[in-house]
Structure 1
Amino acid sequence: MTGQNETGLTVLIAGASGSIGTEVTRQAKAQGHEVLKLVRRPTTKPDEFTWSPSAGIIDYNLLDRADAVINLSGASLTKLPWTSAYKHEILESRVTATRTLVDAMQHAEHPPATFLSGSAVGIYGDRPLDILTEDSPRGEGFLADVVAEWEDEAKAAPDATRVVLLRTGIVIAPGGAMKPLLALTKAFLGSRLGTGTQIWPWISLHDEAAAIVHLLTSDVSGPVNLTGPVAATSDRITARTAADLGRPYKLAVPEFAIRTLLGDAGQEMLLSSQKVTPQRLIDDGFDFRFDTVEDALDDLIK
């Protein structure tokens, strides 16, 4: 290992300040790994290093120092509406960050042994009739196109680097996709979305981070679905959220209203159905703390 410390790996994280990155940092340090953080502002701590992914600026020496790189960078999908300009930002923020990291690895004398690169279950598209594993073909839609291009950038890492594509679902956490749902429900606007029968691929924040830390020292490569082991409909998620918050759950938003108000974002984030199975995590012996979305929501809210 190029930068291994006495008790673990030296891990370079892009996107460490987000809810997932913060929890990954906590769990990685708890397991004895040293964490270095890439930030887009002036540094304030010794473990921080400034970079500018949009300009392709990064200190190549960091990639010689790191045993592993975790890439969690990308513009939020929950910022609405998805205008043409913001769709461009969603794509470019992911592609340029990944390209900058991969280019730095290519220039490193001793590139990192492992690259865990952010990805999303959006690559599968709307597939209500399929059970989706990592071997399933890509689907159609804006997010499928974004994820395919995002993953292609990660695959350009050096041959000596093990690449894992972190295909993440809805993370049950205070931020991210749950933030607007929690806010609306607290405001007595908890609602069934469409029929409520569409399957939302979910994972608890703890298990999302634990899976990423697990994959640092695994032999698995290629796409890995980061989703909970038991599928859940959107109605189960929205209803349990309301119950845990002690709010009513009597409203319903029809599909046509979601499509009219939110366009592609509504269709792909709220109405798509994806029964995604974390087959490679299961086969690799990963132990989920939360098997059902109800347990994950209870832990988050209560």
Structure 2
Amino acid sequence: MRVVVGGASGMIGRALVERLRERGDHVAVLVRRAPEGSDELPWDPATGYLDPVALAGADAVVNLSGESISKLPWTPRRRTAILGSRVQATTAIVGALHARADAGEPVPVLVSGSAVGVYGDRPGEELSEEAAPGGGFLAGVVRAWEAAALEAPAATRIVLARTGLVIGPEGATAPLRMLARFGLAGPLGGGRQHWPWISLDDEVAALVHAIDDSGLRGPVNLAGPEPATADRVARAVAADAHRPYWLPAPGFAISLALGDAGRDLLLADQRVIPAALTASGFAFRHTTVEEAVAAAAG
């Protein structure tokens, strides 16, 4: 297959490109600088530039572009970047897809990055893909992000990859590992809120599955099969580092220090169920958060 990937420089993007190439696919990555080889294609999401020729012969486009939400604090400028980077990148790809369709060319599958943040804080609920969007800054960002993807041509099979906390060697779990190393790990905001996690291996496998499975479309929750609380996730990280787990961080302190970022990223309760993935026959490699943490450390 020929797959075009936007956002290939991040942890997930790098792992996805490697996995696709390992299985024999031809992968071209979108870059904002001058291309340095035939497997790099220029684009400028900020201006909406993506030459439709870049998608010629592509079987799939995977868009993982977007400013990191883990860079704190969420200043007004940072909020604008978080939203704008996602919508602009998606709009550029969708524009190129329309140009291909208007020229009578086949339209590739679009696997568009998304996030479980769309559900907001939902204590006591089980959140499948059928659940309505919630409130909060991240929920609003994801709604706009997904709406941009859904503007793709009618012939496009669109998968909205609603990703949870990806447990890998980098990314969102890095601060937890740092706290653990210094012996400062403990419950965050009580720890009873559910964090929708997924191992990096399964995240990448699920994206590949979304490319391959012609029956998969619309929102797809990329979260592990066994829900885990924040306490269980952080405790697994501390245990893997052989460090104590004892120092609590009260919810009011997290909200005071981090504002919406603390409430959306650390305190939101989201018991997310990967219903669409499971129904499509996807097999998770790591079924518990402890397995995912051990794989990331290894």
- TM-score, normalised to structure 1, is 0.95
Residue 87 of structure 2 corresponds to 95
Alignment of 1:5-154 (within 5 A): 9-108=1-100, 109=103, 110-154=105-149
- Residue 223 in structure 1 maps to residue 215 in structure 2: no
Q: Equivalent of 2:265, from 266, 269, 274?
A: 269
For 1:176, give the aligned amino acid. G
Structure 1 Cα separation of the partners of residues 169 and 35 of structure 2: 26
Give the unaligned 5+ runs of structure 1: 1-8
Q: CA deviation at 1:64?
A: 2.2
Deviation at 1:113, TM superposition (A): 2.7
User: 248, 258, 261: which is aligned to 2:254?
Assistant: 258
Calculate percent identity across the aligned residue pairs.
Answer: 49
Compute the displacement of 1:31 (Å): 2.3
SS in 1 for 2:33: coil
Provide, for residues 170-223 of structure 1, a one-character-per-residue CA deviation record: whole Å limited to 9, x for no partner: 000122211222222222222210111100000000000000001111121100
Give the equivalent residue in structure 1 for 2:295: 299
Structure 2 gaps of 5+ residues are none
Deviations 1:83-133 (Å, cap 9, x if unpaired)?
A: 111111100000000000000111113243300000000000101111000
Indicate conservation of the 8 Å contact 1:75/1:90, yes or no: yes
Distance 2:239 2:211 in 1: 37
Letter of the 1:259 partner, please give it.
Answer: S
- Count of residue pairs brought into register by the alignment: 294
Aligned mates of 2:285, 2:113 — CA distance in 1: 21
Asked whether the 8 Å contact 1:111–1:158 carries over to 2, the reply is no
Where 2:187 maps in the other structure, the secondary structure is strand
Which residue number in structure 2 is paired with residue 164 of structure 1? 159
Of 198, 207, 210, the residue aligned with 1:203 is 198
The superposition leaves residues 258-299 of structure 1 with CA deviations (integer Å, 9 ceiling, x where unpaired) of 000000000010000100000000000001000000011111
* Worse-matched range after superposition: 115-124 or 173-182: 173-182
- Return the letter of the residue paired with 1:185: A
Code of the residue aligned with 1:83 in structure 2: it is: T
Work out whether residues 122 and 147 of structure 1, in 8 Å CA contact, stay in contact via their aligned partners in 2: yes
RMSD value over aligned CA atoms?
A: 1.0
Equivalent-residue separation in structure 1 for 2:157 and 2:92 (angstroms): 17
Task: Identify the residue that residue 239 of structure 2 maps to in structure 1.
Answer: 243
Equivalent residue letter for 2:117:
G
